[in-house]
């Protein structure tokens, strides 16, 4: 069994919930309230900027120039393609450039990207790839699973088509293959760290859907607690 299959099974609890999450199913049916999708787009654009930067960090961690070149290209092409799609969505949603640039990350988006950097700062390529892979793989699986869906809203059809596309499926498989290649060269202890990152990042993916569905805010924006002066 490939190591990617091992970690995928280990993350099945969060993975299966992601595939059936109300946010995802709302896109598939086409009845997700647009304000929730608008919130998601803003948060995901914030996320993708750090996603690209972690690719760039990972590119410096390999002694194999082919891997360095591949990751550097992904830092550019994957981020540009996805941000381009999201900017198309943003235009349809009436989001201005100023609104996109001024977005404040929600707690989950901030924590998720922070964990990506935590993995990358280990200095080990296999850990960086383990942290990046769930985003690719889960979105690719959603794209494959729901490729035949016909949501009533063309905005959501475009979103599904992006992740069901041959380009995105191929890009995902490249990352899975790299993950397995690195796992073959890793020690058992290193593989355990790869697995841990993959499972945690899969949980963050699930949390991201929930964040968008609930339009998550920071506690200071939502809690109404009377506080008295203390010494």
Place of tokens 């979105």: 139
CB atoms inside a 10 Å sphere around CB 48: 20
CB atoms inside a 10 Å sphere around CB 170: 10
Q: Which of 108, 107, 119 is nearest to 197 (CA)?
A: 119
Place of tokens 């995902």: 172
Active-site choice (82, 127, 135, 203): 135
* CA 63 to each of CA 126, 182, 184, 200: distance values in angstroms, whole numbers, following the listed order: 12, 12, 16, 27
- In whole angstroms, what is the distance from residue 126 CA to residue 118 CA? 13
Q: Which residues, 6 or more positions from 18, have their beta carbon under 8 angstroms from its beta carbon?
A: 24, 138, 142, 202, 205, 206, 209
- Catalytic, 205? Answer yes
Q: Which residues, 6 or more positions from 176, have their beta carbon under 8 angstroms from its beta carbon?
A: 4, 133, 136, 137
Active-site choice (126, 127, 205, 216): 205
Phi, psi (degrees; rounded to nearest 5) at 59: -60, -30
Q: Which letter does DSSP use for residue 104 in this model? A: P
Q: Which residues are catalytic?
A: 135, 205
């Amino acid at each position: 069994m490939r190591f990617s299959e091992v970690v995928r099974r280990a993350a099945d609890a969060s993975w299966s919930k992601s595939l059936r999450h109300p946010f995802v199913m709302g896109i598939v049916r086409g009845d997700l309230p647009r304000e929730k999708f608008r919130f998601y787009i803003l948060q995901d654009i914030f996320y993708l900027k750090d996603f690209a930067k972690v690719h760039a960090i990972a590119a410096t961690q390999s002694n194999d120039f082919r891997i360095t070149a591949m990751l550097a290209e992904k830092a550019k092409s994957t981020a540009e393609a996805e941000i381009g799609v999201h900017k198309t969505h943003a235009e349809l949603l009436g989001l201005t450039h100023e609104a996109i640039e001024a977005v404040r990350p929600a707690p989950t988006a901030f924590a998720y990207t922070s964990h990506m950097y935590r993995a990358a700062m280990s200095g080990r390529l296999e850990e960086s790839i383990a942290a990046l892979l769930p985003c690719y793989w889960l979105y690719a699986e959603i794209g494959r699973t729901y490729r035949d869906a016909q949501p009533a809203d063309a905005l959501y059809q475009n979103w599904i088509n992006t992740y069901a596309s041959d380009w995105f499926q191929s890009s995902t498989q490249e990352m899975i293959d790299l993950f397995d290649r690195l796992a073959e060269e890793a020690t058992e202890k290193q593989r355990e760290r790869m697995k841990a990152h993959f499972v945690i990042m899969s949980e963050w993916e699930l949390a991201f859907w929930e964040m968008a569905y609930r339009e998550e805010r920071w506690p200071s924006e939502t809690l109404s607690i009377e506080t008295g002066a203390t010494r």
